[in-house]
A and B are shown apart, each in its own frame.
Chain A
């Protein structure tokens, strides 16, 4: 293993996606506990994901909602 920050960076996406193994998770958390820079960057990535979701959330129009309901097949 070379640079611990570079390794931590590689684990960031799988960490935030909750797909790391327990061992990898412990490795990442051990490094995050002592590295302020990586911790900031992880937090930023987490905030970014939430921020992106909010920014692109565009509700469906009332017209579309009505059109979808009208597509139901009549009972007889």
Chain B
């Protein structure tokens, strides 16, 4: 591995000194660009991880690795996706996958059930915006954390990170078709959890 943080020696050849200066400038620029994306990366990382503490650790490991291997980033490509690919790999390496219990219980047959249930359970007000406000913010955070990891990874990257299906497929190293089916299922699981918590509160 090439040594980073190379010192520009006084006795270096002019060409070599020039090269080192260019490299140092590129690296600093890379670091600045990566840090400027940290809020956006965190928004996704927070929910890929199981807790805030895990997310904070993952972010630090991700940035440490990114800064060490900055040369493997191709300028002009999607840096946010590159950072999240490192992050999801680290997350998998932490053995998180071992705890995974594939959730294969049957889901509601249609995609409209959450709205239908919320609209029914209210006082007859079916205005979409007010119906959605019957869900508490805490319930949403809890419901999202209950979605099994495989589905949540996709859900979080697409719906919170605004990644395309293709970018998501690349980040997670899975086929686009799998992204679509997991996204579909993940959204259904989330809505089922939301419907359950909303019904519990109504009773």
Contact = CB atoms under 8 A, between A and B. Distances in A.
B31 interface: yes
B82 interface: no
Q: Is the interface of B mostly helix, strand, loop or mixed?
A: helix
Contact of A65 (B38, B64, B116): B38
Given A40-B128, A44-B131, A53 B160 contact: yes
B58 to A, nearest CB: 11
Interface string A42-68: 011111110111111111110011011
30 contacts: A6-B110, A13-B187, A40-B119, A40-B126, A44-B131, A45-B111, A45-B115, A47-B129, A47-B132, A48-B115, A49-B159, A51-B133, A53-B159, A55-B137, A55-B141, A56-B141, A56-B160, A58-B43, A58-B52, A59-B42, A60-B38, A64-B56, A64-B59, A67-B60, A68-B60, A68-B63, A71-B60, A71-B64, A74-B5, A76-B7
Interface of B: 4-5, 7-8, 24, 27-28, 31, 35, 38-39, 42-43, 46-47, 52, 56, 59-60, 63-64, 67-68, 110-112, 114-116, 119, 126, 128-129, 131-133, 135, 137, 140-141, 144, 158-160, 165, 183-184, 187, 190-191
